[in-house]
Chain A
Amino acid sequence: MSCSSCTTQPLAPEVFGAEGEHPDFPNGSTNPCKLCTPLGACLAFKGIAGAVPLLHGSQGCATYIRRYLISHFREPVDIASTNFSEDTAVFGGRKNLHTALDNVGRQYRPELVGIATTCLSETMGENMPMLLGEYRAEARDLPPEAERPELVHVSTPSFKGTHASGFHAAVRAIVTALAGTESPGATAESRLAIFPGMVSPEDLRHLRDFCAAWGEDAITLVPDYSETLDGPSWANFIRTPPGGTTIDELRALSHAKAALELGHSLATAPITAGTHLKTKFSVPLHRLGLPIGVRANDAFCTALAEATGRELPERIAAERGRLLDSYVDAHKYLAGKKAIVYGEDDLVAGLTVFLAETGVVPVLVASGERNGRLAEAIFTAAPELRNRIEVREGSDFGEIEQRIEELKPDLLIGSSKGYKLARSLGVPLVRCGFPVHDRLGAQRIRLLGYGGTQQLFDRIVNALLEAKQEHSDIGYSYL
């Protein structure tokens, strides 16, 4: 039984769905491998200090997205809505937007309101810059302590892109709106900017630790929801949880000493937060993959060495050594094992490039994203995979299921939404990414750095060992 799964079959070179709709699915989606764009924008805004996200659309969007985020992070996630009614859809959302901004100001005293559109307001063609300009210009009847927050708008029609693209769009909007807006004569220190992408709070904390090991404490993470979405128990009610990238940090991004933007797929996107800082303020930009695996972490370390002028710290070198040592210890358990990897494009790219180092064959890499960049991002970072694996964009679980019989995977890696499939196949699911709705500790799943990779690697190896043990008639306790 276990022997057949050890053989590596030559695989047809296939890249699907890169342009337009996938030929098998011109008619919609079965069990999606993506969420809508405003969700990603809300998540990004939650990583800004004192920020409250506000969705310009129906009440349901905010409520559904809140529930989805709360179930993953197990933290309060307050998202306001402009709460469209039929009248609003006919006459426009000006009044609702202005009332909502007043009420968010009154209730939350925010430092920033992140306004994301929805499919409804986008289809109506709401002129957001104009509506927000009018709001800024008008005198508002607000309590004095509700000082006017920064208003950052991002366009997130849910009929375009996924939650991942919504996330990146919001990060770009935040940086575009605030970088370089400090008052004249301000002398903030020059910091290292990191755009980490959609990673866990634990990984955000780890990125700080990682840089601290290089002696680099002046880090601006955008966004940084490491505390806002994984905070301690409260003694009193807190309107906006502490933590997050501060407005001052965002303003000072214009003179960051360098910017590191993480994500293999994001690295070839035409306009990002990083490219904005580079073009407008000449901030040196390093576009890298998510640091998962030896190669991606080596590249990350090279960029850090360049940005800080320091050499690889001993502690990090030791972590790298241990990771490589475990690769060796486990290589026979993993040889030829077939994995299906699904989720956000940058996450699956990072995971795939890492898996290729270990002997696991990522036979199918699927993302709901459809930007035409995924396959090339993977093959550039892991050329040995070219012509060996399937990469599918615009994919969903309906499509993945159709490929199961032929691919016969030993393992699934991705969100908890793959559980049903893993269960029906009787193969392990290694949970990571978003959402993880059926386990505790989604906020604390580590993937990044040599140390994070180590944790992921151990989980993968042990999941396969456990499956082997469970499917054995004998049940050895010594493997």
Chain B
Amino acid sequence: MTQPLEILPSRAASIVEAGQAGGSVRCGKVSVAGSVSQRACVFCGSRVVLYPIADALHLVHGPIGCAAYTWDIRGAQSSGPQLFRNSFSTDLQELDVIYGGEKKLERALRELIAKHKPKAAFVYGTCIVGLIGDDVAAVCKRLSAETGIPVLPVASEGFKGTKKDGYKAACEALYKLIGTGDTSEISPLSINLMGDFNIAGESWVIREYFERMGIQVVATITGDGRVDAIRRCHGAKLNLVQCSGSMTHLAKKMHEEHGIPFKRVSFFGIEDMSAALYDVAKFFGGEELMDKARAVVRDEVAKIYPQLRAWRDDLHGKKAAVYVGGAFKAFSLVRALRTLGMRTAVVGTQTGDADDYNTLREMCDPGTIIVDDSNPIELAKFCLEQDVDLFIGGVKERPIAYKLGIGFCDHNHERKECLAGFVGMLNFGREVHASVMSPVWNFVPRRAAKRGTTPVTSTPKSKEAVA
């Protein structure tokens, strides 16, 4: 028996089609209970932003789960200290919940700071800390005075909002560091890279482009992050904000308090990467700087273009579904897919806002499905209806694609491939091509059925197959 896949009535307003009239996408709301959202929680937002600060101690205050699930999963690299790749937790037990966890937190901080000598410590509050009423801020203040390093509470109780609120809590913690370091010897041509997390060394790639233009990168926040660099980053003359969802809050605060302007950029795809370099050249002014930017773009594009063209011949006309955390990445991916000759047929994000979805509606071809805070059943339905050849998402989306015989590219923080910058575009093209053009799709049931070839043995009968 086949049944149509049902969209929950409460979810309908979060789905639109490009080229169709209609109201704006319902977004920015808490997920519908029981919908199997692909989102995480406030804690996840904070942890994602702060995790790459390599010389800090990251202590998760709560039962073991939150610390365990975020232990050394991501591809964020450090050129030096590896302290951040450990998982530290107060591992709260039943008695701690009854009597309070402050003393345990204090002991843990004291012991861990003495042992690992971090430059700063972040203390993440988890769900039950908000309930049992531990005064995390007071403990942090005490330990900061005692140890002489900044010990910063991160108000990241999972239920107190969405992932975006977690970003904000992380920005608030970071902001306490900013402005406390020495800004001498910072060039007038200087920037901070914000919202790049140095997945597979991406921050290093981007930093090198700017250095070739003669621009100093004061701090990378937070990819390959260092506490001392963050302390002095208010000496930079411009903030470049990639992954706008996570860092715009901090950039705005720095603008207000330190007068540093910011620009939203993306480092994914040839167009957006080039635009980021040109924007910075334009900001500082002068034909010489612009020439340097052009030279970087020219040299880098020349290195990758012949190969991209070859792949484009194979990929021309193929369709993709994109489901990612933030909207800026979605914009870049729609453009990067076009560079490869592909069309985006489904695009969604976990945290986009109304403006973001309007932008997607304008930039995507008519008929493209645009969705906020989707779930596995919806994503599967859209992929089948649009008959896509590729899914770009994270680990949680991967089995949806693979089970249905669809290629996949991991564009989330767990990946270990560099996808930013010009070299990243080359890697992206290689990965997309490798997956979409793989011979394995000739054999998977959904594709085989389409070609009318009958498999030798039928696949096990499911209880319920859905058209």
B162 nearest CB neighbor, chain A only: A59
Given contacts A34-B68, A83-B33, A102-B34, contact A237 B404 (CB under 8 A): yes
Q: Mark A232-275, 1 if CB is under 8 A from B, else 0.
A: 11111111111000000000000000000000000000000000
- Cβ contact of B161, chosen from A76, A86, A242, cutoff 8 A: A86
Given contacts A21-B93, A157-B94, contact A67 B376 (CB under 8 A): no
- Cβ contact of B93, chosen from A34, A77, A160, cutoff 8 A: A160
Give the shortest distance, in Å, between B454 (CB) and chain A (any CB).
12
**Contact B159 A82, beta carbon cutoff 8 Å:** no
B69 nearest CB neighbor, chain A only: A64
A445 to B30, CA, bound (A): 39
**Contact B68 A81, beta carbon cutoff 8 Å:** no
Contacts of A109 in B (CB 8 A): 3, 464
Taking A39-B65, A235-B459, A237-B380 as known contacts, 12 extra A-B pairs with beta carbons closer than 8 A to each other, sorted by chain A number, are A30-B88, A35-B68, A36-B64, A57-B159, A63-B41, A83-B30, A106-B6, A119-B126, A120-B158, A162-B64, A232-B460, A234-B405
Binds A, one of B104-112, B200-208, B360-368, B425-433: B104-112
Contacts of A241 in B (CB 8 A): 462
Contacts of B112 in A (CB 8 A): 27, 30
Given contacts A50-B463, A63-B44, contact A70 B399 (CB under 8 A): yes
Given contacts A59-B37, A74-B399, A241-B462, contact A32 B31 (CB under 8 A): no
Contacts of A238 in B (CB 8 A): 403, 462-466
**Contact B466 A237, beta carbon cutoff 8 Å:** yes
Give the shortest distance, in Å, between A116 (CB) and chain B (any CB).
12
Give the shortest distance, in Å, between A455 (CB) and chain B (any CB).
25
**Contact B131 A120, beta carbon cutoff 8 Å:** yes
A83 to B29, CA, bound (A): 12
**Contact B107 A26, beta carbon cutoff 8 Å:** yes
Check B381 for interface membership: any CB of A closer than 8 A.
yes
**Contact B104 A123, beta carbon cutoff 8 Å:** no
Q: Mark B43-77, 1 if CB is under 8 A from A, else 0.
A: 11000000000000001001111111111100000
Given contacts A63-B40, A65-B69, A107-B36, contact A89 B159 (CB under 8 A): yes
Give the shortest distance, in Å, between A342 (CB) and chain B (any CB).
14
Contacts of B161 in A (CB 8 A): 85-86
Contacts of A282 in B (CB 8 A): none
- Cβ contact of B31, chosen from A36, A83, A160, A236, cutoff 8 A: A83
Contacts of B465 in A (CB 8 A): 235-236, 238
- Cβ contact of B40, chosen from A49, A64, A70, cutoff 8 A: A64
Contacts of A64 in B (CB 8 A): 40, 44, 65-66, 69-70
Check A345 for interface membership: any CB of B closer than 8 A.
no
**Contact A159 B96, beta carbon cutoff 8 Å:** yes
A125 nearest CB neighbor, chain B only: B131
**Contact A96 B33, beta carbon cutoff 8 Å:** yes
Question: In chain B between 96 and 152, which residues have their CB closer than 8 angstroms to a CB of chain A?
Answer: 96-97, 104, 107-108, 110-112, 126-128, 130-132
Binds A, one of B212-220, B242-250, B335-343, B441-449: B441-449
Of the candidates B87, B395, B463, the one having the most CB atoms from chain A within 10 angstroms of its own CB is: B463
Given contacts A233-B405, A235-B465, contact A32 B380 (CB under 8 A): no
A370 to B131, CA, bound (A): 25
**Contact A78 B36, beta carbon cutoff 8 Å:** yes
- Cβ contact of A60, chosen from B8, B43, B67, B96, cutoff 8 A: B43
Check B92 for interface membership: any CB of A closer than 8 A.
yes
Enumerate 17 A-B pairs (CB-CB under 8 Å) in ascending A order: A29-B88, A29-B90, A30-B112, A39-B65, A62-B36, A66-B396, A70-B399, A86-B159, A99-B33, A109-B464, A119-B97, A120-B128, A123-B128, A162-B64, A235-B459, A237-B381, A239-B466
Check A124 for interface membership: any CB of B closer than 8 A.
yes
Give the shortest distance, in Å, between B117 (CB) and chain A (any CB).
15
Check A71 for interface membership: any CB of B closer than 8 A.
yes
Contacts of B33 in A (CB 8 A): 81-83, 96-97, 99-100, 103
**Contact A31 B64, beta carbon cutoff 8 Å:** no
- Could you tell me how many residues of chain A have their Cβ less than 8 Å away from some Cβ of chain B? 86
Q: Mark A24-63, 1 if CB is under 8 A from B, else 0.
A: 0011111110111011000000000110001001111111
B106 nearest CB neighbor, chain A only: A27
Check B35 for interface membership: any CB of A closer than 8 A.
yes
Give the shortest distance, in Å, between B164 (CB) and chain A (any CB).
13
B166 nearest CB neighbor, chain A only: A60
Give the shortest distance, in Å, between B146 (CB) and chain A (any CB).
15
**Contact B381 A70, beta carbon cutoff 8 Å:** no
Of the candidates A65, A76, A157, the one having the most CB atoms from chain B within 10 angstroms of its own CB is: A76
**Contact B445 A119, beta carbon cutoff 8 Å:** no
A40 to B68, CA, bound (A): 14
B86 nearest CB neighbor, chain A only: A31
Check A379 for interface membership: any CB of B closer than 8 A.
no
Question: In chain B between 329 and 367, which residues have their CB closer than 8 angstroms to a CB of chain A?
Answer: none
Check A327 for interface membership: any CB of B closer than 8 A.
no
- Cβ contact of B384, chosen from A32, A107, A237, cutoff 8 A: A237
**Contact A103 B380, beta carbon cutoff 8 Å:** no
**Contact B6 A107, beta carbon cutoff 8 Å:** yes
Of the candidates B376, B400, B461, the one having the most CB atoms from chain A within 10 angstroms of its own CB is: B376
A180 to B107, CA, bound (A): 50
B446 nearest CB neighbor, chain A only: A235
A35 to B127, CA, bound (A): 16
Question: In chain B between 283 and 314, which residues have their CB closer than 8 angstroms to a CB of chain A?
Answer: none
Give the shortest distance, in Å, between A362 (CB) and chain B (any CB).
24
Given contacts A234-B446, A237-B380, contact A158 B6 (CB under 8 A): no
Contacts of A118 in B (CB 8 A): 127
**Contact A28 B90, beta carbon cutoff 8 Å:** yes
**Contact B445 A235, beta carbon cutoff 8 Å:** yes
A264 to B176, CA, bound (A): 51
A106 to B375, CA, bound (A): 14
**Contact A35 B69, beta carbon cutoff 8 Å:** yes
Question: In chain A between 266 and 289, which residues have their CB closer than 8 angstroms to a CB of chain B?
Answer: none
Given contacts A88-B159, A106-B6, contact A76 B399 (CB under 8 A): yes
Give the shortest distance, in Å, between B93 (CB) and chain A (any CB).
5
Q: Mark A107-127, 1 if CB is under 8 A from B, else 0.
A: 111000000001110011000
Contacts of A234 in B (CB 8 A): 403-405, 445-446, 459, 462
Check A198 for interface membership: any CB of B closer than 8 A.
no
**Contact A89 B130, beta carbon cutoff 8 Å:** yes
A376 to B109, CA, bound (A): 34
Contacts of A76 in B (CB 8 A): 376, 399-400, 403
Contacts of B127 in A (CB 8 A): 57-58, 84, 118-120, 123
Check A104 for interface membership: any CB of B closer than 8 A.
yes
Contacts of A349 in B (CB 8 A): none
Check A101 for interface membership: any CB of B closer than 8 A.
yes
